[in-house]
Structure formats: structure tokens, C-alpha cells
């Protein structure tokens, strides 16, 4: 052993030890440096990033839905309001077995197959970790029953919401419209318009009528609360709250009682009535029959109910006042008269003899008057009073389609009225260009003649007819028909402002009075074809009736409503305003296929009496078939 030790090199071993120690120490320093650098990176450089991530796991932003604005009629009666409803919601990611949970909920909250189908449809389009409605409109019993059994359903809870409610059901559907669940198209549109974030807590959006047109006014601004949650997602405490801003309340020009009264008069008919104040353009009533209950759509209408409405031959989904297009018939004769007078085609004394027909020059084609034996000698006033077709055949021939179309366009025909509803059609004011484009055929002289009495290719909505009458009443000054009276902002009513539009023709020409005097004669002079219905009124009325043909008769045929199918019978129209010297109300009405009740003149008298006298029980003379036939021209 002593011999072996004598050969050990202590110097070399010592140097080796030192080298190893240095390597180890250097390694420790490097590792410590890496650790310190990493700690610096985590704690200093990326502090904000990791703090944000931590807070996102611990702190949640919960959107708060704003309260939707209330819709009132002109007298302050609420037409669309919000009421609290309760619904069961599920977050699928927190439920072990969604299908089993749904089945178990059947007996607790009376869940049915339609509810489950709606849940699955909503789940398919929702993001992860989103609460999805399972059943809405829970009763108090259902809420209590779930509360007792809630321990059985982790990931399921009952929440309260404000839900839209329409207390008057079908009476105002086509005007007020409704809200319904936001769908994919709504999401796409809101995202495109940069408004999607404002609907984070909202389930519904305006789909029709005022609810749709004034969505931005009614909706409000979404708020939010910042809350701290535990690892199970349950709220521990609220950290911050930004309250939502409620939508603005709106007041409409509508009169609910008038709307309901007119609806009772039209029961059983396919019809439309528009009542306006010609001084302001405000719409007092807009009735379209038949109608339907908008509350069906708020929580999502069943496929069965929707199919029933969609396939109903009476088309209740259509707003006949703004979307129904019909030949305006003889209701346009006063406007044709003003146009012809303004164009110098006729004057106050222009006369024509009516044998019961008018013949197209250079042709054997004869156009019949509704009165077979004719009206005899006519001037413009008598032609309006008796609604003589032949006089206006001649006027149309002399005017020509170009001037006739130009003037009627000034009265609003063929154009949107400007009403604050998205659901509107423009009708058709025919021109040469229109026919060539539509039928690939030129305009013939014979095409112009029926246009003079509101027939042929001419179609219009009842609202357009009312707007044209307001232009006449105001001597050419245009009033845009509107439903909004005011919005409530900061506790004050902000009125709707009537836009300025160029007047029609010369407002000082005096031609307006000639046409209005003709309408006065219709209702007040013995030869007026609606005199029977307005005799004895303590106020004076001006009126014009019309008959829109659904199909054409041959030259030797006579119209008999009792011998043809109900859907082929003529439409009956009437326009009227009162009182004559200071008009406060203008009414346009159509009864499709003649309606299911009294004559159009009878209903018009009842509406005007209700407005002017507050009389719901108008007593009229016994119906005379001959007078009724004359009235409808």
C-alpha cells in the first residue's frame, strides 16, 4: 500500500478537482442565470400578459340587456310593452349528459318535443359556454317545481328576462309588427353594420312594422357587469357595473280606439282602411284584415301555426294597406281632372255628350260607361259627381300616356309613400318604357284609355290613394304619411318633423277647388252617386268611390256579382274627407271582392260618424240595390 501511495500525483488530482469544481460552479451559475432570466421574463416582461390571463379565468364580463322602449298610441295607451318572464337555461358544457337531462326536465317544467327541437337548433348555432334557453314563459308552478329539483340539474338554471308583449293582439299587428328571436341573417346583418356587440345580452330583435323600422331607437345600449368567479364558474362578487341604457319610448299618431272600431266594421272581410290627418300627414288608423296575433312570434312560432298563416288563402300576413296593390279605379278621377286642367287639356266649361259609351277615334273600339244609357251632357264637375267614365276616357285620350303618367307620378302613384314602415310596395304607374320592358310590346293608344279611370295596368296601395287625396285636400302641398308622432329623450317628447317636398302643380291655380267641389257633389248633391249614404250628416263630406275589376267582361256581357265566384267579384273602393270646409280627416278604403258585410259607403259613413260625432251606431236608410250599384262607380 505504501508503494502505491508513493506513485500518486497530488498536484494533478488537485488541478482536476479545481477544474471540475469550476465546471460545476459555472453550470450552477448558468442554470441560476437561466432561472433568473425566466423569472424576470415571467414576472416583469410578461407580467401584464399573465395577469390578464389570470383575470380572464377569474373575472368575467357579463352583458346586461337594455330595457326595450315602450310603444304608445297618440293618447298614451301602451301598444307594446315589456313584462318579466322566466325561462330554463342550460350550459351544455357543464352537463354530463344533455339528452338525459332534457328527458328528466320533461316532468319538472313540462318540456315538450317542440321545446327540445328549438333547444337543439339554438345549440347548433351558439358558441361554447353559452346559456341556451330550454323552455320559456314558465308558470309560477313550473318555477317553484324547478327550484325544489335544481340540485338534480347542474349546469341548468332559471333566469328572468323582460319579454315583449302586445296587449291588443291582432288589432295592430301590421303596424306595430313584432320582435322575435335573433337568427343567423340578423347576426350577419348586425355584424356587417358594426352593431353585433350591442346585442350580446339580447335574444330578440324587431322583425316587422314599427318594431323593425325603429329598432335602433327602441333597442337601447347594452351594459355589463364585471364579476369574479370561482373555478366552477359561479359568481363570487361583483367588481364593477356599467348599467345599460334603456331604449327610447315612442308615441305613434295612431288612435287605438279608432283602430279597434274600424276592425269590428271589417270583420269577416278582406279589406284595408287608412285614416290620416291631412293637416299633418299623421296616420290615425291603418287596418288590414284579416290579421293575426303577433305574440305568437315573440318566443318563436311553431311550424304548425306558421304554416297555417302562410297557407291561409286570405293572406293575413300581408299588410293590405301598404302591400296590397289594386287598380285605384274611379278614386283617381279628381286627380286626373286637376292634371287635365293644369295641362290645359280641359277647362271648367269643357263639355261632352255621353250616350253610354266612348269610341276610340279611327277605330271601332268602344269603351262602355258604367251607366248603360249614359249621363247626357257633361262637364268636369258633373263627370266627377256622377263618376262618368266617358268624360275621362276623352281626357285620357287627349292627355296621352306620357303626360298622364307624369302627372299621376306627382300625386305619388308608382312611388313609395315615405311611410315609416319597411313593408311597402310601390304599385305601378304604367309608362311606355314600363310596358316595353315588361311585355316586350309597344304602348298602344288603346292602352291609355282605361288609365283615365284608374284601370288597365295601373295599380296602387290604399296608402298611396290616401296620400294622393291629402295632396288634393292641401291644394298640391305634399304631406308624407307617417306613424311616429314623437320619441322620448331625456324625459322630453321630441316631435317627428315633416320633410319638405316640392308641391304638385300650381297651388294657387283654383283647379284644386274644382276637383274638390266634384267630390263634394258625390256626397251632397242629388245626382251624386254616394249622396244616399251621407245625407243628413251635421258635417259636410267630400267623397269618391270606385270599382276595380278583377276580370274583364265581354262587350255583350253584364256584370252580376251573384252569378260569379266570390273571388272574381269586383273590389269596392272609396276615398273621403271631412269636414269639407276644414278637412281634419281623410279616409281611403278597399273591400276586396266587395267585402262580407255592408256596402263601402255604409262603412265609410260609420267611420266618419265615429270620428266626427263619436257615434258608433250610425243609422242609415235601408239598402237600395240600385243606389249601391251607382255608389260603387
Q: How confident is the model at residue 208 (pLDDT cuts 50, 70, 90)?
A: very high
In tens, the pLDDT along 399-422 reads 999 999 999 999 999 999 999 999
pLDDT tens for 253-296 read 999 999 999 999 999 999 999 999 999 999 999 999 999 999 99
* Distance (Å, whole) CA 374 – CA 353: 9
Contact (Cβ atoms closer than 8 angstroms) between residue 532 and residue 624: yes
Grid cell in block for residue 38? 425566466
What residue segments make up the domains of the chain, in order of their start? 2-45, 61-251, 321-475+510-631
Q: How far apart are CA 486 and CA 491, in angstroms?
A: 12
Tell me what pLDDT residue 530 has: 92
Cell numbers standing for residue 405: 303618367
| CA gap 146, 158 in Å, rounded | 8
Over the stretch 39-72, which tens digit does the pLDDT of each residue have? 877 777 777 766 665 555 577 777 888 999 999 9
Catalytic-residue membership of 330 = yes
Question: Rounded distance, CA 226 to CA 127, Å?
Answer: 20
* Concatenated DSSP letters of 327-394: --GGGGHHHHHHHHHHHTS--TT--EEESSEEE-TTS--EEE-SSTT--EEE-HHHHHHTT-HHHHHH
CATH assignment of 321-475+510-631?
3.40.710.10
Return the SS3 of 550: coil
pTM attached to this predicted model: 0.85
Average per-residue pLDDT in the chain? 89
| Highest-confidence segment of 10-14, 513-517, 615-619 | 513-517
Distance CA 36, CA 42 (A): 10
Catalytic residue among 330, 383, 387, 545: 330
Query: Which three cell numbers, joined as nine digits, stand for 146?
Result: 324547478
- At the fourth CATH level, which superfamily is domain 61-251? Penicillin-binding protein 2a (Domain 2) (3.90.1310.10)
What integer pLDDT is reported at residue 492 of this predicted model? 94
- Each residue of 330-367: pLDDT tens digit? 999 999 999 999 999 999 999 999 999 999 998 989 99
**Burial class (CB within 10 angstroms; exposed 0-12, middle 13-18, buried 19+) of 403:** middle
In this prediction, residue 594 carries a pLDDT of 74
Give the pLDDT confidence score for residue 625 in this predicted structure. Answer: 43
- Find out whether 472 and 575 touch, Cβ atoms under 8 Å: no
Give per-residue pLDDT as tens, 139-189.
889 999 999 998 899 889 998 888 899 999 999 999 999 999 898 899 999
Pick from 258-272, 368-382, 560-574, 583-597: least confident? 560-574
Amino acid at each position: 500500500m505504501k508503494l502505491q501511495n508513493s506513485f500518486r500525483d497530488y498536484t494533478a488530482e488537485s488541478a482536476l478537482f479545481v477544474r471540475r469544481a469550476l465546471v460545476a460552479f459555472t453550470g450552477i451559475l448558468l442554470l441560476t442565470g437561466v432561472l433568473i432570466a425566466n423569472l424576470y421574463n415571467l414576472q416583469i416582461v410578461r407580467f401584464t400578459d399573465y395577469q390578464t390571463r389570470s383575470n380572464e379565468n377569474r373575472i368575467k364580463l357579463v352583458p346586461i340587456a337594455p330595457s326595450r322602449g315602450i310603444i304608445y298610441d297618440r293618447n298614451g295607451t301602451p301598444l307594446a310593452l315589456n313584462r318579466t318572464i322566466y325561462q330554463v337555461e342550460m350550459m351544455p358544457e357543464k352537463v354530463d349528459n344533455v339528452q338525459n337531462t332534457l328527458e328528466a326536465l320533461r316532468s319538472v317544467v313540462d318540456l315538450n318535443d317542440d321545446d327540445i327541437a328549438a333547444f337543439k337548433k339554438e345549440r347548433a348555432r351558439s358558441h361554447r359556454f353559452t346559456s341556451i334557453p330550454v323552455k320559456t314563459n314558465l308558470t309560477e308552478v313550473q318555477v317553484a317545481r324547478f327550484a325544489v329539483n335544481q340540485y338534480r340539474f347542474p349546469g341548468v338554471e332559471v333566469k328572468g328576462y323582460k319579454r315583449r308583449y302586445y296587449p291588443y293582439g291582432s288589432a295592430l299587428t301590421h303596424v306595430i309588427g313584432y320582435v322575435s328571436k335573433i337568427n343567423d341573417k340578423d347576426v350577419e346583418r348586425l355584424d356587417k353594420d358594426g352593431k353585433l356587440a350591442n346585442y350580446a345580452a339580447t335574444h330578440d330583435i324587431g322583425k316587422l312594422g314599427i318594431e323593425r323600422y325603429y329598432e335602433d331607437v327602441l333597442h337601447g345600449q347594452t351594459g355589463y357587469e364585471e364579476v369574479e368567479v370561482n373555478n366552477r364558474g359561479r359568481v363570487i362578487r361583483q367588481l364593477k357595473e356599467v348599467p345599460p341604457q334603456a331604449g327610447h319610448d315612442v308615441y305613434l299618431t295612431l288612435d287605438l280606439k279608432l283602430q279597434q272600431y274600424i276592425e269590428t266594421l271589417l270583420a269577416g272581410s278582406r279589406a284595408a282602411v287608412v285614416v290620416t290627418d291631412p293637416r299633418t300627414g299623421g296616420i290615425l288608423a291603418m287596418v288590414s284584415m284579416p290579421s293575426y296575433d303577433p305574440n305568437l312570434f315573440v318566443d318563436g312560432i311553431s311550424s304548425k301555426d306558421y304554416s297555417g298563416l302562410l297557407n291561409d288563402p286570405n293572406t293575413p300576413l300581408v299588410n293590405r294597406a301598404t302591400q296590397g296593390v289594386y287598380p285605384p279605379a274611379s278614386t283617381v278621377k279628381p286627380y286626373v281632372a286637376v292634371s287635365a286642367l293644369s295641362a290645359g287639356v280641359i277647362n271648367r266649361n269643357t263639355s261632352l255628350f255621353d250616350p253610354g259609351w266612348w269610341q276610340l277615334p279611327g277605330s271601332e273600339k268602344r269603351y262602355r260607361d258604367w251607366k248603360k244609357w249614359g249621363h247626357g251632357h257633361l262637364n268636369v264637375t258633373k263627370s266627377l259627381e256622377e263618376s262618368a267614365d266617358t268624360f275621362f276616357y276623352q281626357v285620357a285620350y287627349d292627355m296621352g300616356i306620357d303626360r298622364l303618367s307624369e302627372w299621376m307620378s306627382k300625386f305619388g302613384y308608382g312611388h313609395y309613400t315615405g311611410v315609416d314602415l319597411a313593408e311597402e310596395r310601390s304599385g305601378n304607374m304604367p309608362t311606355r318604357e314600363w310596358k316595353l320592358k315588361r311585355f316586350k310590346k309597344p304602348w298602344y293608344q288603346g292602352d291609355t284609355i282605361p288609365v283615365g279611370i284608374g284601370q288597365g295596368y295601373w295599380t296602387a296601395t290604399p296608402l298611396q290613394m290616401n296620400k294622393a287625396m291629402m295632396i288634393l285636400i292641401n291644394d298640391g302641398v305634399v304631406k308624407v304619411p307617417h306613424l311616429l308622432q314623437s320619441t322620448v329623450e331625456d324625459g322630453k317628447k321630441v316631435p317627428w318633423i315633416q320633410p319638405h317636398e316640392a308641391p304638385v302643380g300650381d297651388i294657387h291655380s283654383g283647379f284644386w277647388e274644382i276637383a274638390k267641389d266634384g267630390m263634394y257633389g258625390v256626397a251632397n248633391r242629388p245626382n251624386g252617386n254616394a249622396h244616399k249614404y251621407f245625407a243628413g250628416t251635421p258635417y259636410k263630406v267630400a267623397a269618391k268611390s270606385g270599382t276595380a275589376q278583377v276580370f274583364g267582361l265581354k262587350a255583350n256581357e253584364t256584370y252580376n256579382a251573384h252569378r260569379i265566384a266570390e273571388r272574381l267579384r269586383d273590389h269596392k273602393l272609396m276615398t273621403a274627407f271631412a269636414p269639407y270646409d276644414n278637412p281634419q280627416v281623410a279616409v281611403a278604403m278597399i273591400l276586396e271582392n266587395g267585402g262580407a258585410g255592408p256596402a263601402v259607403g255604409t262603412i265609410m259613413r260609420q267611420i266618419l260618424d265615429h270620428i266626427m260625432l263619436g257615434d258608433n251606431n250610425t243609422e242609415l236608410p235601408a239598402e237600395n240595390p240600385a243606389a249601391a250599384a251607382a255608389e260603387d262607380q
